[in-house]
Structure 1
Amino acid sequence: MCSSEVRIGHTLNETERQHVADRAWTVLQCLQQLGISCSVTNFDWSIKLTSFFPKRCDVRFSYNFCDYIDEHKLSDQRSKYTTTDPYPIYTVIDKKSKHDGLHADCWFEITPDESGYSLTGAFVDSSCWGSQFENGQKIKDQAEIDMLFLQGNTPQMYYSISIQMVTHWIWGTTYNYVYKMEVPSIHPSILSSEKRAFVDAGLLNNSPYFSVLRQERDIDLIISLDFSEGDPFQTVVDTAKTCTELHIPFPHCVVPTGENTEPNDFYVFAGSTDTPTVIHIPLFNCINCPGEVEKWHKIYTTFQMEYTESMISDLLNKAGSNISNNKENLLREIKYIMEKKKAKLG
């Protein structure tokens, strides 16, 4: 049975806080093995470099086959991850908020423990996200949302049902747990809506920065592995613009002239004392695809119907090379950020 109350506030849920604390020792050992010195007194902030694993969720309709339908409940993941695993954060966007230009109310995060609006601060136990609420109290239980909701892929046997879902936008629609509440930080149009529809976060931004940009997560470094088709800098530039509008600390992003089509494989958008640094690594670049960046983008298009085994293998090799080729660069930036943090702490 899920909690019957909605939580209004910006603090992290207790399970996430505990996982981050437990994971700190694992991260500390990893840093030491890589030759990065970090004492027990300052490792607490060092985990902010690596503790979160935001995932952009596809909740759109797709015509292709699924290998399987994942009917596990999201809450089934609770306590299944170990200290070697980042805390899982899935991200979708509120469809109507996007349409209305309510940037602070767009971003919705889903974790095994709690789900809610990342920036405006309204959360509910994930096991009852989808149940019917009114004025902050649950009034009717509904079956817990399963992982198929996040997969967003529907096999052919559900084809006719899914067409109806897409036509009437049923897919991705749930009861609104803040319905008829009074929450100053949330736009009134959301509070007066009995149901809300959620869609693929890529329709707004292909990288889910805003879940980790919650102030209480206190992030020092974001490593952005960008896989966008088209301009490889659009995600980070758009995020910088939105952060300026919403007064969220984020580095200023200046893209070198002429590198939008043939990007390098490693960029650093440095933050100030209170602003996170972003390391930006385009998937296809002039290092792992010399002279063939456009060719590789054409092979792996946004609306690719399926991937063969060889395509998956080739893609993993390209993605892996971006890390192996930049191991020293990554370690250098981590060391630099740690030294800067130490100096700030005195």
Structure 2
Amino acid sequence: MMEGTEYSKAKGTSDVQGNRSQEIRISVDLSNGEKAANIQRMENVRQSLHELKIDCSQDNVPGIAVLGSGGGLRAMIALQGTLQELENQNLLGTVKYLCGVSGSTWCMSYLYKHEDWPKKLPTLEKGLCEKLAGGSWEMNKLLDALGAAVDEDDEYSLTDFWAYAIIYEMLSELDEALLSEQDCEKGKAPYPIYAAVDGKRLTEASKTSKEIWFEFTPHEAGFPSPGGFVSTTHFGSEFENAELKKKNKQKNIGYLRGLWGSALASSEEIKKAIIDSLKQFIFGRNVDAAHLQEEKKQSETYRMRSVLKDERNLLRKDAQVQDYVTVCEILEKESVEAAKQTPLHEKASIGVWTLPKIAFKTLPLLRTWTWGSNRNFLYKCCDIQSGDLANDDIISLVDAGLAINSAYPLLLRPERKVNLILSFDFSSGDPFETVKMAAKYCKENNIPFPKLDEKTLEKDKDNPENCYIFQEENAPTVIHIPLFNRVNCEGKIDEWNEKYSIFKLSSYTDQEIRDLLRVAKQNVSNLNTKERILAEIQNAVK
């Protein structure tokens, strides 16, 4: 295995087929881009500490990180409020890394479109409220994006449909920006890390395995363990033994939001959401008889209808989706009635058979439950030391919340030198599940982690305090802050959890958003919490 930032046998260029690619890096080290960003950021951190009357030398700047857990829309909104209040309390400037899972990544990708977003948080918060509460989505835009994914992406999966048909409607934004465009090398904001896991290797037993974790940064995407990365610009392109075979279009933020946030509900609810969305497309579509007669002449149409019929029969055997097979039946029906309104295909810039084509490619994936399909940049890479990872030409990346709903494994890489973690937990259920899973992960992988007081956590499970500190010598200190607690939601924790269910697949009202922002901010502005965070920052410097 090659060390440092060398690329796998990189002697060719990255855009000429057949040459060894400089886009693949086999190493456990950080990328050059992240290193450069950290140099700039740590100087800004030192200045922020000085403003808090905490002085340290350039060699003694603490590595402070903020973790945002998963939690759907409530995580997106709550992280926005949390970061706003950290900035209000002059604490955000001390943070080196910001790392998110699922809904938290939606907030991060919204903010990082602006290089100096910490100074624009009030305006961005207002924009987020307007977007979520009063925003709108366009069917034309949705179908254009989905139609392009169906036509152009050989690795089309449920993630594409989820991103363009579900997440877009939830967030009222189909973000076509690119992750590689997020400018963070001047250190004006914490360095961003977005989490995912390898769905093919994810099992109940492997949730605490190092090798399933996958990370995205503006510079690279890859597996920290065993140490295999590709430049973010080439994520999704086709490689073989570190040779670039085909350069594919870079995945945009809209798609990545679907990949990062694909575990918002149970599999049954997700299936229902997808098929109901397909039904919405089809029920709203009327096609005149003359147009249908013309389309019937095309053999591709007949082939598609035949396969759809076979797929319907297979889906009937699946109890979870048998109530929705009418989608296939609708597609098989030939409407001879004149359209009573402007046909959907005429409203959108797509062909009349794009809708059946979308269903044709999506419905089989419900049966096989295929998510996050992307070209494996480590395919047949002889330099990687990782079991069967190099054997598959396709990897399946899914929401990291399916493993640990907070990305401790990515922050705890020793190369990142993090010694203080501010964990803001927006997940549902046990408010300590993420930190307990993190402790288990670290124990099984011989990574230093503070000991937890299991008795206290069990006692407080249904009525948590607003701040817990876990610390131990030679281990990072963890400050764990549950979203809804006995301080900001006194006596009403269950009500808040029910009101802001992480399974909610539609947005909140303006007032609901502002209420959630308020309680999230209280978790930072509370005098006790702020003083404890400051004290631990001082300890980290020492």
TM-score by length of 2: 0.58
> What is the alpha-carbon distance in structure 2 between the residues aligned to residue 55 and residue 80 of structure 1?
16
**Cα 1:63/1:40, change in 2 over 3 Å:** closer
- Higher Cα Rg, which structure: 2
Pick from 177, 192, 217: which aligns with 2:377?
Answer: 177
> What is the alpha-carbon distance in structure 1 between the residues aligned to residue 38 and residue 393 of structure 2?
35
Q: Is the 8 A contact 2:64 2:420 kept in 1?
A: no
Matched, 1:24 2:128: no
Q: Is the 8 A contact 2:63 2:418 kept in 1?
A: no
Q: Is the 8 A contact 2:234 2:247 kept in 1?
A: yes
* Partner deviation per Cα, 1:273-315 (whole Å, 9 max, x = no partner): 2x21111000000011111111111111121122221111111
* Partner deviation per Cα, 1:166-191 (whole Å, 9 max, x = no partner): 52555421001111123564222x21
1:7 is matched with which residue? 25
Pick from 195, 219, 223: which aligns with 2:422?
Answer: 223
> What is the alpha-carbon distance in structure 1 between the residues aligned to residue 59 and residue 257 of structure 2?
41
* Partner deviation per Cα, 1:66-90 (whole Å, 9 max, x = no partner): 412111122121x356423111111
Where 2:173 maps in the other structure, the secondary structure is coil
Pick from 476, 480, 484: which aligns with 1:284?
Answer: 484
* Partner deviation per Cα, 1:51-102 (whole Å, 9 max, x = no partner): 111121366937461412111122121x356423111111011101113844
> What is the alpha-carbon distance in structure 2 between the residues aligned to residue 17 and residue 267 of structure 1?
31
1:233 is matched with which residue? 432
Q: Residue 34 of structure 1: CA displacement?
A: 1.4
Pick from 99, 107, 110: which aligns with 2:213?
Answer: 107
1:316 is matched with which residue? 517
How many residue pairs match? The answer is 335
1:119 is matched with which residue? 225
Q: How does 1:1-346 map to 2 (within 5 A)?
A: 4-43=22-61, 45-46=62-63, 50-57=95-102, 61=162, 63=166, 65=169, 66-77=171-182, 79=183, 82-99=186-203, 101-102=205-206, 103-152=209-258, 161=358, 163-164=362-363, 166-167=365-366, 168-169=368-369, 171-183=371-383, 185-188=385-388, 190-255=389-454, 256=456, 257-273=458-474, 275-305=475-505, 306-325=507-526, 326-339=529-542
TM-score by length of 1: 0.89
Q: Is the 8 A contact 1:119 1:210 kept in 2?
A: no
Q: Residue 332 of structure 1: CA displacement?
A: 0.8
Where 1:298 maps in the other structure, the secondary structure is helix
> What is the alpha-carbon distance in structure 1 between the residues aligned to residue 431 and residue 176 of structure 2?
34
**Cα 1:37/1:18, change in 2 over 3 Å:** same
Quick one: percent identity of the two aligned structures?
36
Q: Is the 8 A contact 1:251 1:277 kept in 2?
A: yes
Q: Is the 8 A contact 1:165 1:171 kept in 2?
A: no
Q: Greater shift after overlay, 312-321 or 81-90?
A: 81-90
Richer in strand (by share): 1
Q: Could you tell me which runs of 5 or more consecutive residues in structure 2 were left unpaired when the two chains were aligned.
A: 1-13, 16-20, 66-93, 104-158, 262-273, 282-354
Q: Is the 8 A contact 1:223 1:278 kept in 2?
A: yes
> What is the alpha-carbon distance in structure 2 between the residues aligned to residue 311 and residue 288 of structure 1?
15
> What is the alpha-carbon distance in structure 2 between the residues aligned to residue 270 and residue 5 of structure 1?
39
> What is the alpha-carbon distance in structure 2 between the residues aligned to residue 236 and residue 133 of structure 1?
37
**Cα 1:5/1:18, change in 2 over 3 Å:** closer
* Partner deviation per Cα, 1:36-56 (whole Å, 9 max, x = no partner): 12234423x456772111121
> What is the alpha-carbon distance in structure 1 between the residues aligned to residue 257 and residue 228 of structure 2?
24
> What is the alpha-carbon distance in structure 1 between the residues aligned to residue 222 and residue 243 of structure 2?
15
Q: Is the 8 A contact 2:236 2:376 kept in 1?
A: yes
**Alignment-mate amino acid for residue 12 of structure 1:** L
Where 1:99 maps in the other structure, the secondary structure is coil
**Alignment-mate amino acid for residue 335 of structure 1:** Q
Q: Residue 212 of structure 1: CA displacement?
A: 0.9
> What is the alpha-carbon distance in structure 1 between the residues aligned to residue 494 and residue 211 of structure 2?
35
Richer in helix (by share): 2
Q: Could you tell me which runs of 5 or more consecutive residues in structure 1 were left unpaired when the two chains were aligned.
A: 340-346
Where 1:27 maps in the other structure, the secondary structure is helix
Over aligned residues, Cα RMSD in angstroms?
2.5
**Cα 1:34/1:247, change in 2 over 3 Å:** same
Q: Is the 8 A contact 1:4 1:138 kept in 2?
A: no
Q: Is the 8 A contact 1:105 1:187 kept in 2?
A: no
**Cα 1:261/1:183, change in 2 over 3 Å:** farther
> What is the alpha-carbon distance in structure 2 between the residues aligned to residue 171 and residue 232 of structure 1?
28
> What is the alpha-carbon distance in structure 2 between the residues aligned to residue 178 and residue 297 of structure 1?
41
**Alignment-mate amino acid for residue 105 of structure 1:** E
Q: Greater shift after overlay, 66-75 or 293-302?
A: 66-75
Where 2:463 maps in the other structure, the secondary structure is coil
